[in-house]
Structure 1
Amino acid sequence: MTQTAIITGGAGGMGLATAKILGSDHRVVIADLDQQRLDTAVAELAAGGIEAASAVCDITDRASVERLLDEAERGGHHVRAVVHAAGISPQMGSAERVARINGTGTVNVTRAFLARAAEGDVLVNVASTAGHGLPKILIPFGSFRLAETDPAAFERAIVRRARVAGRKLHSGIAYGISKAFVLWYTRSQAVAFGKRGARIVSVSPGSFDTAMGRLEENHGAAEFLKVSAIKRFGKPEEIAAVLAFCAGSAPGYLTGVDILVDGGARAGAEFRKRPGVTP
């Protein structure tokens, strides 16, 4: 039985970089909304000697996610790992769209994979350093529990809370809340995954040199560099190395936690005001 890894958002950026690593010992299936981008990515992977398939998938549609898993399993393949890298940043959509894709999309992927998970399997959810930075008073933790039972109400709760600031900030606040949800939801599912002998972790990237990262460069991403320990954008290959490690079989005791990969931005922000410390 061939071991398969699915990468959502796998047609570019950190998703494609992760596929290049996991493809060394997995059959990879990359998922995206755009077939043309998928075809280009599959050709790039094939040129590197990596067996890859592709599937168009809308993560906000549970049925579409189920079809993705069905297609990946066709022919006797077993989906051992899912790296859920699909998502949008504040400049890519409204607060409503951010909540639906980053929040409900993560629930759909998680629930669909959990139903099939077996011993040694793993889900890696991509969160964000933004999920760590919001004041807790802005995060509607009580409404997070609605994500599985009433996704519309869950999304509305995020959007309402995002409206505490001016319109220009709505998507940004919704993004931070949606990624705080990914952190919370990943922790909340650890026991359920553990009962199946499987793992679930999240990884929180900081500012990375991807198309999405550069889109946010003048909207806050570059500001992190002022306090970061490493004063540059991260490379896609650097975050992919962490995602692929988490999705591998070696860290078998790693579950229910988040790994922050932000170049030391939060550490720099925390300690920059100490005497003798220069930003």
Structure 2
Amino acid sequence: MSRVSIITGGAGGMGLATAKIVGQDHTLVLCDVRQDRLDTAAAALSDLGITATAVNCDVTDRSAVVRLFETASGIGPIASVIHTAGVSPSMGDAEYVNTTNALGTLNVNEVFFAAAREGSAIVNVASMASHMLPEELVPTKHFDLAFTDEKRFLAELLAACDIAGEEMRSGLAYSVSKTFVRWYSSSQAERFNSRGLRIVSVSPGSVDTEMGLLEADAGAGAMVANAAVPRWGKAEEMAELFAFCASDRAGYLTGTDILNDGGVIASMRERARQAAENA
């Protein structure tokens, strides 16, 4: 039977770019919340000779995610999941951002843990924004609530955004929710390994996709200009890393986050260090 790879957000820029790589040697199950985008993505893959099973799925709905994995398992053994589904600050309010990015990640990963076979891997997409958030603003002590009380978990994430003004709440929610993605991908590594599974997160910087460019006027453009590599990242560059992390070639890689941001965070930290020395 064919080895199956599930790509959530598979109709988006990074998801589709990843599908073009992973689809070369895996059977694809493409998941997205918008059917029109799914149809377009499946057609684009078909033009490349890659067949994908398209599943309309809202990752914030646990039952829908279960059905997604049931569909994939019916095709063949699940070898990997690349979880790119998520939203940016410009796409909704703080509650929507937290629910999609944090709860969506929890749902996909927990169903993967229950359904995948030994040797499988999941790659979660975090963000360089999570590396910019001061630790004192991260409600880490409440992250465990995700496993016992999802309603209170989301309420605590939203409460953590109260320090921001209304215009900044979605941006802070994005950073908080993506920090949860990184925390989950690290904290659950031992549990996942107990079933022979790997879990990794990747934190992209500013990427030249439809969603990424939504943030061009919200500071991302300025950060790109001041990065060690002063340009926007390409979806294909992220996709190559996702595909590698999910592959058997990365069999020793688990419980960590890979920052792929063109050196933005490194540049910011070094400039801050120099400024402090010269103060």
Q: Report the TM-score range of the alignment, normalised by the length of the smaller protein.
A: over 0.9
Corresponding residue of 1:98: 97
CA contact (8 A) 2:69 2:115 kept: no
Report whether the alignment pairs 1:8 with 2:45. no
Once the two structures are superposed, residues 115-159 of structure 1 have per-residue CA deviations (whole angstroms, 9 ceiling, x without a partner) of 122221000000000111111111101110101211111111111
Structure 2 CA distance, aligned partners of 1:45 and 1:78?
21
Corresponding residue of 1:151: 150
Structure 1 CA distance, aligned partners of 2:242 and 2:181?
15
Corresponding residue of 2:109: 110
Structure 1 CA distance, aligned partners of 2:24 and 2:225?
37
Structure 2 CA distance, aligned partners of 1:224 and 1:149?
38
Matched position secondary structure for 2:49:
coil
Corresponding residue of 1:67: 67
Structure 2 CA distance, aligned partners of 1:132 and 1:238?
20
Corresponding residue of 2:52: 52
Structure 2 CA distance, aligned partners of 1:167 and 1:90?
12
CA RMSD, Structure 1 to Structure 2 (Å): 1.1
Which structure has the highest helix share of the two? Answer: 2
Corresponding residue of 2:231: 232
Matched position secondary structure for 1:208:
coil
Matched position secondary structure for 2:154:
helix
Question: How far does residue 272 in structure 1 lie from its aligned partner after superposition?
Answer: 2.8
Corresponding residue of 1:134: 133
Corresponding residue of 1:258: 257
Question: How far does residue 227 in structure 1 lie from its aligned partner after superposition?
Answer: 2.5
Structure 2 CA distance, aligned partners of 1:252 and 1:18?
19
CA contact (8 A) 2:59 2:107 kept: yes
Matched position secondary structure for 1:5:
strand
Structure 1 CA distance, aligned partners of 2:220 and 2:206?
6
Matched position secondary structure for 2:193:
helix
Matched position secondary structure for 2:232:
coil
Structure 1 CA distance, aligned partners of 2:106 and 2:45?
28
Once the two structures are superposed, residues 244-266 of structure 1 have per-residue CA deviations (whole angstroms, 9 ceiling, x without a partner) of 11011101000000000000001
CA contact (8 A) 2:77 2:117 kept: no
Question: How far does residue 220 in structure 1 lie from its aligned partner after superposition?
Answer: 1.6
Structure 2 CA distance, aligned partners of 1:47 and 1:165?
46
Question: How far does residue 12 in structure 1 lie from its aligned partner after superposition?
Answer: 2.0
- After TM superposition, the structure 1 = structure 2 runs for residues 112-261 of structure 1, keeping only pairs within 5 Å, are 112-261=111-260
Corresponding residue of 1:25: 25
Once the two structures are superposed, residues 20-70 of structure 1 have per-residue CA deviations (whole angstroms, 9 ceiling, x without a partner) of 000010011110011111111001001011121110111111000000001
What is the TM-score of this pair, normalised by structure 2? 0.96
Matched position secondary structure for 1:59:
coil
Once the two structures are superposed, residues 159-212 of structure 1 have per-residue CA deviations (whole angstroms, 9 ceiling, x without a partner) of 111110210000000110000000001111101111111100000000000011
Structure 2 CA distance, aligned partners of 1:54 and 1:119?
25
Structure 2 CA distance, aligned partners of 1:102 and 1:272?
30
CA contact (8 A) 1:117 1:193 kept: no
Runs of 4+ in 1 over 6 A off after TM superposition: none
